[in-house]
Amino acid sequence: TLFRSAIWNAAQPPDWMKDNPFWRAGETLALSMSPYEFNPLNHNPLKRVLKAAVDFGAVQATDIKLFVAATAVRQARARIFTASEINADVLMASACLPHLFQAVEIEGEPYWDGGYLTNPPLWPLTGEDTPDDVLLVTLNPMTREETPRSAADIMDRLNEIVFNAPLVAELRAIAIAGEMIGQGQIDVGGQGPYRHVRMHAIEADRWLSDLSLRTKFNTEWSFLNDLKTRGRAAADEWLDSCLGAVGRHASVDMQARFG
């Protein structure tokens, strides 16, 4: 595994090269090829790794509410898989980037990465039998201080915006619903899909904004440990400043941020 990781990381271009127009032209050419062309046998070692590393029987039997999203290609709809449905194919579908991998077929329907339509799916967490507090942990920065100018930085930021868009839409809907509930325009006394949700967030902006899109392909152990350190620091900061809000009120001003 370490040997494969070393080969993969050695194959990644250095940061100075990604702005080279010839390299960008090569990337464009590579994207012009379909995974059905450059990988006709649909070989993907990740599936074997998942089957070896994950006890899907235990996942399917758990009482924990677990949701995984994938995008139905032909219907352009998000499908939310619950714990009892989750297997290796579902996880492969939820992370299937269509310019790299062939669509994953489940029950005759091809699926792509769920992030295109819901990233992550929040609406299953607003049901009647779910907690009143929702903690969102983001992985892509929402805001950046500088305007991207190089071709590589523009593509990186565009990728972040595209994958953040479904999340922003869901958060805005939650904010609007919360405001309408507060104004008495929506009755939450009876059975229905609307209720108060106290939102909290550990956001990536300050902790991950110095990392480029290329680092998503970095599998070096030192880098993974660095991500772990950043994550723990972000979590500790949130616990110190926002834990007291849990069970009482939201620690994110939804209306100001997304309303």
pLDDT at residue 5, as a whole number: 47
Other CB atoms within a 10 A radius of the CB of residue 132 amount to 11
Q: What is the pTM of this model?
A: 0.77
Query: Distance between CA 150 and CA 212 in Å, rounded?
Result: 13
User: Quick check: is 10 in a domain?
Assistant: no
Amino acid sitting at position 101? F
Q: Give the sign of the dihedral formed by CA 223, CA 226, CA 232, CA 233.
A: negative
Is-contact 130 199, C-beta < 8 A? no
pLDDT at residue 123, as a whole number: 81
pLDDT at residue 38, as a whole number: 86
Query: Distance between CA 156 and CA 178 in Å, rounded?
Result: 33
Helix (H, G, I), strand (E, B) or coil at 145: coil
pLDDT at residue 46, as a whole number: 86
Structure tokens at 98: 């269509």
148 with 250, same domain: the answer is yes
Helix (H, G, I), strand (E, B) or coil at 191: coil
Q: Are β-strands 67-72 and 198-202 bridged in parallel, bridged antiparallel, or unpaired?
A: unpaired
pLDDT at residue 75, as a whole number: 93
Q: How many structural domains is the chain composed of?
A: 2
Average pLDDT per block of 10 residues along the chain, 259 residues long: 46 55 63 84 89 95 92 95 96 93 96 91 78 88 86 84 87 79 67 73 88 80 93 95 93 73
pLDDT at residue 181, as a whole number: 72
143 with 227, same domain: the answer is yes
pLDDT at residue 101, as a whole number: 92
88 with 205, same domain: the answer is no
Domain end (from 76, 94, 115): 115
Query: Distance between CA 220 and CA 2 in Å, rounded?
Result: 8
Tell me the residue range of the domain where 212 lies.
122-258
